[in-house]
Amino acid sequence: MHARRAMLSVSFAVALGIGCGSSTSHGSNASGQGDGGSSSSSGPGGNGASGSSGANGTSSGAGSSGTSSGPASESSSSGGDSGQAGASSGTSGDGGFPVAGNPSGSCTTLTLPAEAQPVDTSSPTTVVGMGTSASCTFQALSTAVSAGGVITFNCGPDPVTISVTSTLTPPISTSGSPVHIVIDGGSKITLDGGKSVRIISWSHATWRTSQDTLTLQHIQLSNGKASGTKQIAACTTQPNAQCSTGYTDGQGGAVFMQDGSLRVIDSVFTGNEAAMLGPDTGGGALYLDGSGTLSYIAQSTFQNNSASNAGAIGMLWVGANIYNSLFEGNSAVGTGANNVDSSECSCDDGNGDQVGSGGNGGAIYKDGGDGVNLTLCGDLVENNTATEFGAGAFLTADGSAAKLVIDDCVFTDNHSPISYWNWCMGVSTDTTSTSPQPVSSNFCDGCNKCQTTCSSAATCGM
């Protein structure tokens, strides 16, 4: 990611409206802070069957057909761990499970493709559980996810939280045929990382070639945590005053994906965190790395996730379409943004002589010269923060043809202390001359001063 305060000498007169009011929270609400995501540049319905297993499926709890691995003795809490940081407080009509997605608008200018629609899971490969919350153990879940296919749950009539004690690893293709994995929570299942582990890691050894898909639908992922382990070494040669600090890893607090296509549908992500400091780490909830196929997010909620960069979603050399979703209370908490500048740092951290340590993209972040667009349609992006650029959304195309497309969206009360390099209120991008003007969208500051078009002449009511 190439944006740093010191290098941006052109000041656009677009401030972000700090401290002039607040917006009402929607749906679920979560606490929790995290570490975060940025990047470096290099170069598939219905609700899941929660009552019985499918005719052709095996069951890791029980089912009317197939083999059963039997119940386990440990119990997960029914109704969700409401006392944990990141637990959702919003309710739907279904036993207290949170409603996902934008509560006040939708995408009308674009047609949602099949990839953004729920997958039919009426004939699952594996059903987790035997009809009670006690039967829905982490062991049963882990076994099902490792086997892949279509996974549903039979945990009883009430919402259930399953504590994830080690990272789940869905399979990847090892031959020419892609794998397609679906995890369907049936609007009753929360996977909780307990602020100690990343919830899902789906990592290919390939770069932008895999055709595998992973779909998460009707499910909540909360309190996942990705911790940095590869610390940037101190630079002992001059110049070194501005060298990057923090970590080069620790991306994706709830989900990390390398290659393949992630589809997130009618799901909730709360209180997840990634590494808190570093120029090229981030993605408090999701981090998507190096994929040649689009990822899709629809009717989903991201609340109170945090990371060095990309408080909610971070993308590096990945394109995505995000529809009808809510981004609220997410934070990019790094400092100094980042840039390669050998005149201020003489040490290579693996991605060049970098200066700055994150802070870009409070909610949504995309970096990389892949030339693939980031499309937002029908989204509500509010009350997100960034210590540097793009409190609502951040895109750097690194000289490629990638564009930022914004239709039917509302950006409001997204805060950053930086008053320049903003294309719209809360939106920073280096594609201002090539991205189309937003369609049927509003960009508002904390004092309800709004704009419908993006330009350097726009100002906020500070």
How far apart are alpha carbons 382 and 372 in whole angstroms?
A: 25
Q: Is residue 88 over pLDDT 50?
A: no
The sign of the torsion formed by the CA atoms of 280, 281, 283, 288 equals positive
The pLDDT score that the predictor gives to residue 44 is 35
Core vs surface per residue 315-330: b (16+ CB within 10 A) or e: bbbbbbbbbbbbbbbb
* Residue 43 predicted with pLDDT over 50: no
Q: Residue 109's CB: how many other CB atoms inside 10 A? A: 12
Say whether pLDDT at 358 is over 90. yes
Ranked by mean pLDDT, the top range of 160-174, 339-353, 411-425 is 160-174
Per residue in 253-287, pLDDT tens? 999 999 999 999 999 999 999 999 999 999 999 99
- Integer Cα distance of 37 and 34 in angstroms: 10
**Tokens describing residue 455:** 């330009």
- Per-residue pLDDT band at 350 (split at 50, 70, 90): confident
From residue 160, alpha-carbon distances to 74, 118, 132, 136, 251 in Å are: 13, 21, 9, 8, 27
Write down the domain spans for the chain. Answer: 1-44+92-118+171-462
For residue 55, is pLDDT > 50? no
**Among candidates 174, 207, 42, 72, which has minimal Cα distance to 132?**
72
Model confidence at 213: pLDDT above 80: yes
- Res. 57: pLDDT tops 50: no
Q: Please, which residues bridge with residue 258 across strands?
A: 203, 289
Percent of the chain at pLDDT > 70 equals: 77
- The pLDDT of 7-21, averaged and rounded, is 34
List Cβ neighbours of 46 (8 Å cut-off, separation of 6 or more): 118, 120, 121, 122
**Which tokens is 94 given?**
């279904």
Question: Quick check: 10 pLDDT over 50?
Answer: no
Kindly tell me if the per-residue pLDDT of 52 is higher than 90: no
> Taking the model in full, what pTM does it have?
0.82
pLDDT at 17 over 50: no
pLDDT tens across 111-139, in order? Answer: 999 999 999 999 999 999 999 999 999 99
pLDDT score of 457: 53
Residue 18 has pLDDT above 60, yes or no: no
What are the residues whose beta carbons fall under 8 Å from the beta carbon of 257, sequence distance 6 or more?
Answer: 202, 203, 214, 286, 287, 288, 289, 291, 295
Candidate from 31-45, 240-254, 413-427 with smallest mean pLDDT = 31-45
